[in-house]
Amino acid sequence: MRINLGPANLRDNEMRGFQIGRKNVVVARIAGQYRALDDWCNHAGCLLSGGRLEKQMVICPCHEVGFDFQTGKNLTSPGVCDDQPAFQITVENGNIILEGFDPNP
């Protein structure tokens, strides 16, 4: 499924959460590239969009685990929680397009 998230107006090193159907996704712009992850931390149940962006990682606000925005891999605390699902993002006609995301599984 392709979902238009709206204008591609994030600045570098900025992220924003979106609610789509019954799910949430966090989108970041890193070095001019847009990236997206499932926004709900699979361990603590927090919204990653409430955390902070450090280089290419989002840091969970509940337990400080860092997830790679490109791959979703847990980079700081393997074994504490699983990797996060990552999604493909494109920019078309000035809009952020989320690819392969099912808002109502």
- In terms of residue numbers, what domain contains 48? 2-99
In a domain, residue 63? The reply is yes
Is the pLDDT at 105 greater than 80, yes or no?
no
Element spanning 4, H or E: strand 2-7
pLDDT of residue 48: 97
- The pLDDT tens digits of the residues spanning 28-56 come to 999 999 999 999 998 878 999 999 999 99
In a domain, residue 47? The reply is yes
In a domain, residue 104? The reply is no
Contacts of 24 (CB under 8 A, 6+ apart): 17, 18, 38, 39, 40, 47, 49
Query: How many domains does the chain contain in total?
Result: 1
CATH code for the domain of 62: 2.102.10.10
In a domain, residue 9? The reply is yes
In a domain, residue 68? The reply is yes
In a domain, residue 105? The reply is no
- The pLDDT tens digits of the residues spanning 59-95 come to 999 989 999 999 999 999 878 889 999 999 999 999 9
